Amino acid sequence: MRRVLNQSDLDDQLREEGFVVVPLLETSQLAALRQLYAETHPVAPVGFYSSTHVADQAFRNTISERAIAIVAPSLDRLLDRMRLLGAALINKAPGANGILQPHQDWNIVDETAYRSFNIWIPLQDTHAANGAFQYLPQSHNRLPTYRSINLPNICQDVQALVWAHMTVLHMNAGEALLYDHRLIHGSHLNQTQSPRTALVIATTFQEADMRYYYQEGEGIGEYACTPAFYLAGNPAAGPAGLEQIRMLPVVQEQLDQTTFARIFQLPLPSKASRWQQLIHFFTP
């Protein structure tokens, strides 16, 4: 598979680790994105918010177009023949309801032939206290999966195990995190008094056709689609209006703790002995 980034050492890191962080924005670009967010969100969102969740199609398109126009010159220098599929502004408000459980992002291309990525750009410094991006190291290349609205999240039944092995990624405002959609990631609550905002842009190879996957009975339907389907349509409602390419004879199941730990090479939590349990019970 050809490279994604113009700089060879960064491209090697992306392939091996599933992500790379680079300085990206000039001060003026960062200020322009902050202004775009303030202008389009006069009322602060609550919980975890993405502009892609807003019902108003024109609103979603406007944010995507304006944000991409701001950052495209910098991304052109970073990326090798990649196309930007759409952008969204996201926000993690302080307090409850902002946690993003461990997951992988949806397949939007045929991953047997191509890869797709997110470019995640924080608009302020991020750290553990305000809900920084966390990831499971090298989880992008452990197990082929299909991810979509009605397909099971392989982390669903093992969240505690995954959180125990996630790594917090501290970032500066204006840096860019480019990560593989297969990388398991999430973020904890924002425990500060300020919102944690970011820009996220999906990207893939210029030559890659887009795909949409949907569980149907005992298989998974693979459909042809376009960026507009994800940005302006309603992918949560299913594949209505899309052309089916094929049915994949795949049944994706939840993974139990033992299976997940074996595949992702994680140590299982040790079980306390009966004597240790009794000591703990009677210790004030």
Average pLDDT for residues 63-89, to the nearest whole number?
98
Per residue in 168-192, pLDDT (tens digit) is 999 999 999 999 999 999 999 999 9
In 54-156, the DSSP E strands lie at: 82-92, 100-103, 116-122, 134-135
Q: Is it the case that residue 222 has pLDDT exceeding 80? A: yes
Q: Is it the case that residue 50 has pLDDT exceeding 60? A: yes
Q: Is it the case that residue 163 has pLDDT exceeding 50? A: yes
Q: Is it the case that residue 272 has pLDDT exceeding 70? A: no
Q: Is it the case that residue 161 has pLDDT exceeding 90? A: yes
8-state DSSP, 149: T
Per residue in 21-34, pLDDT (tens digit) is 999 999 999 999 99
What pLDDT sits at residue 211?
98
- Residue-averaged pLDDT of the chain: 94
Q: Is it the case that residue 274 has pLDDT exceeding 50? A: no
Query: Is 3.90.1150.10 the CATH number for 8-282?
Result: no
> Domain residue spans in the chain?
8-282
What pLDDT sits at residue 271?
64
Q: Is it the case that residue 128 has pLDDT exceeding 50? A: yes
Which residue in the block uniquely carries the two structure tokens 């210790």?
A: 283
What pLDDT sits at residue 280?
45
Measured CA to CA, the distance from residue 30 to residue 41 in angstroms comes to 17
Q: DSSP string spanning 36-72? A: HHHHH-SS---SEEEGGG-S-HHHHHHHHHHHHHHHH
What pLDDT sits at residue 253?
80
Confidence band of 65 (pLDDT split at 50, 70, 90):
very high
Q: Is 271 exposed, middle or buried (0-12, 13-18, 19+ CB in 10 A)?
A: exposed
- Which residues sit opposite 134 in a β-bridge? 168, 186
Contact between 151 and 219 (Cβ < 8 Å):
no
Q: Is it the case that residue 282 has pLDDT exceeding 50? A: no
